[in-house]
Amino acid sequence: MTDTPNSNRYVMRITRMTVDKLGVRLYDRVSAVVAELLANAYDADAENVVVRVPLATLLARKNRETREVEGYGYTIEVEDDGHGMTREEANDHFLKVGKDRRADPAQGGHSRRKRRSVMGRKGIGKLAPFGICKRIEILSAGGDKTDEGYLVSHFIMPYDKILDDDDKQVAMEVGDQDGTYRSKRGTLVRLIDFLPKRVPNQEVFHRQMARRFGLHQPDFKISVEDTRNPQENLPFEIGSFDIPLLEDTRVDVSEVPVSLPDEQRDLPVSGWMGLAKEAYRNEEMAGVRIYARGKIVATTRAFGQSAGFTGEFTVRSYLVGEIHAEWLDEDEGEDLVTTDRQDILWESDYGRAFREWGSEWIRKIAANSRKPRRKRVEQLFLQVSGLEAEAKRRFADHDIVSTALEFGKQIGRFAAEDELEDREYVSGLTQVVLSVAPHKALMDALGAFHKRTFGEGGGVDSLLDLFSKTRIAEMASYAQIAYQRVRAIRELGDALETGGHEPVLQKILAEAPWLIDATWAPITTNQSLNLFKKKFAAFFEDQYGMEEVFSIDHGRKRPDFTLVNLSRRLHIVEIKAVGHRFANADWDRLHNYLEAFDKFFLANQELAKAFPEGWVVDLVCDSVRISDRDKKGAYELWQSKNRIKQISWSDFLTRATQANEAFLEAQDQVREEERRLNIDSDSP
């Protein structure tokens, strides 16, 4: 290749479509567009801004047949009382896209009169309305006051002409009021010819707008007028974004700056963080809002912390706050805010220091929140479970009722608050409390009896009380276990008689794993199962490129397997519908999992220690008909290694019934005993 002095051999041209792709399309919400117009008004020293918008309205629709967008004739207006623009200012500043106003000596980083730190910087926010509409009308009165008032600049910006695949200058359409005069300064921006976008209702719109600005100054007021239902919705102001906080969790972060050890300097911050009283109910309240120059630049739920930190669930579901860090958007410094002003550059030097600073605060908040949050969840559990009423209905003994309430508080305070809306979850916790309460009352009675016997003395009355509680605890335990097992066995029998569909059978086994092995204890922990489920999912997807689905409790998504931790062995239950013959295709699928289980346990020795007796696949199907010789040999090899145990549904039900005959008999005995006890208690 021969060098040439021709400097024009390679030339880059930037078309206006670049602005559309890199800027305009970032604004697809009405609230985001209005926020950009409000920021322009703020930078123009406005004190009052009026937003006129049709709330709870679809602005346009797409015709399904012609694919054309059909508008409904609505407009959105943002009018301010700022300094306005002359024709020269409109051409030199507003109509120059991508111009950094802070680097321009004629404008700078502060507003003209009030010396506000201006929000604008990148020079594309003026095009934000093109994210929701096709035409922007600007009517601005500015400059020096004359005898006739302030000279008006009036022009229309058409999307199709401005953002085509070209780089030539485009003349704006001149409005009919251009060159006229107005008595007051200010700018009116009118949006016309909308895309299929929806304006939210008043509550949501206010929330979205209030979230975007962290302005706490009396000289900038935003009011909203509903142009669709003005009689129903009176004008309202955009106020502060308030979120009720959990008691004693709010912390003021203003006194602890972000430290930059390498530069030997501190970065000032102001604001607060805390935990909301309720888990996030909408996207606007989620996380800590970070502002620079009064405008939101990022929202974070955990300051970039990796998963697994102490209090993670609480923090990611309840952490809220408002932090101001002006150094994120300094005039002379590095621009640390992304183009859409929805995040910051966390991997920059300042971003990493900010992340570490935030992580320290999160740890403190999580520690401070444990007691008040547990108290709140405890009360919520008692309320939604109706534990007190159920305990009084079930137990005649006042002490056992009191014990159930105290034990319920202990269990409830560690519950997951979002799951307290799940009836099955609450019912399960309630049954655990009611099952254990008689035994706990018995232990309390034993302690009191011991104290009286060896301390203050005791007598026949204390012995009678002790024996009474022993009997109630024993009867309650057997009654609960018998009831659950009898119910599950009958459900299984009914399911098999009606065709035995896999989803139904999966649900029964997930809820009653002792059907697989009668030695299973009624109270176990699923912590090891949860850990296995999480790690194996990542392992299987990485190794085989496929997603697996495990069930521990019967979830919404249909599982491939059900996991059960029995007698220190992991049982991986694979079931087939009643009458199904396990054939070649079934084996191909299962074989992949068998190899994956083997590799996974070899690679995760610490996790394997939770299952000292290893693992086995319980294959529940009516017959095995693997015709391919090699596949059949492989199946038999895995069987010989005790990795597969096959059983038919008929044998499965028979085994479960025989193993639990004692409970079937116990149920009748418990009912008879309860009947007799009731008769005794009614006797004079």
| Stretches in the chain below the pLDDT threshold 70 | 1-26, 98-99, 121-123, 165-167, 307-311, 333, 339-342, 416-418, 442-443, 445-486, 500, 506, 510-530, 544-568, 658-684
Q: Which uninterrupted H or E stretch holds 271?
A: strand 270-275
HEC profile of 30-89: HHHHHHHHHHHHHHCCCCEEEEEECCCEECEEECCCCCCEEECCCCEEEEECCCCCCHHH
**For 529-578, how does the pLDDT look when each residue is reduced to its tens digit (9 = 90+)?**
667 777 887 787 777 666 655 554 444 444 456 665 555 678 888 878 88
Reduce the DSSP state of residue 558 to 3 states and report it.
coil
Q: State the sign of the Cα–Cα–Cα–Cα dihedral 656, 657, 659, 664.
A: positive
**What pTM was computed for the model?**
0.60
Supply the pLDDT for residue 39.
92
Which amino acid appears at position 393 of this protein? R
- Would residue 253 be called left, alpha or beta, if left means φ above 0 and alpha means ψ between -120 and 50 degrees? alpha
Cα separation, 612 vs 609, whole angstroms: 5
> Is 442 in contact with 469 (CB distance < 8 Å)?
yes
Supply the pLDDT for residue 625.
93
> Is 58 in contact with 73 (CB distance < 8 Å)?
no
- CA nearest to 185, candidates 140, 226, 216: 140
Burial class (CB in 10 A: 0-12, 13-18, 19+), 402: middle
DSSP, residue by residue, 665-684: HHHHHHHHHHHHHHHHHH--
Report the Cα 394 to chain-centroid distance in Å: 38
Cα separation, 441 vs 403, whole angstroms: 6
- CA nearest to 496, candidates 609, 654, 659, 363: 654
Cα separation, 179 vs 150, whole angstroms: 10
Q: What are the structure tokens assigned to 132, written together?
A: 């929701």
- CA nearest to 554, candidates 489, 510, 504, 523: 510
Supply the pLDDT for residue 78.
97
Cα separation, 351 vs 263, whole angstroms: 14
- CA nearest to 480, candidates 323, 663, 612: 663
- CA nearest to 429, candidates 416, 443, 441: 416
- Which residue in the block uniquely carries the two structure tokens 């005649």? 396
> Is 176 in contact with 152 (CB distance < 8 Å)?
no
Cα separation, 28 vs 32, whole angstroms: 7
- Which residue in the block uniquely carries the two structure tokens 């407009």? 75
Contact residues for 192 (Cβ-Cβ < 8 A; gap 6+): 75, 133, 134, 135, 136, 137
Reduce the DSSP state of residue 533 to 3 states and report it.
helix
How much is the CA Rg of the chain, to the nearest whole Å?
A: 35
Supply the pLDDT for residue 215.
75
Supply the pLDDT for residue 476.
52
- Which residue in the block uniquely carries the two structure tokens 């087939």? 576
Q: Can you list the pairs that 256-259 forms with residues at least 24 positions away whose Cβ atoms lie under 8 Å? A: 256/357, 256/361, 258/325, 258/350, 258/353, 258/354, 258/357, 259/353, 259/357
Contact residues for 513 (Cβ-Cβ < 8 A; gap 6+): 520, 562, 564, 566, 571
Q: What are the structure tokens assigned to 148, written together?
A: 């006739």
DSSP, residue by residue, 417-439: GGGGG-HHHHHHHHHHHHHHHHH
- Which residue in the block uniquely carries the two structure tokens 């199709």? 160
Supply the pLDDT for residue 477.
52
Supply the pLDDT for residue 522.
37
> Is 163 in contact with 135 (CB distance < 8 Å)?
no
Supply the pLDDT for residue 459.
47
Cα separation, 668 vs 672, whole angstroms: 6
Half-sphere exposure of 649 (CA within 13 A, CB side): 25
Supply the pLDDT for residue 670.
52
> Is 533 in contact with 563 (CB distance < 8 Å)?
yes
Supply the pLDDT for residue 549.
53
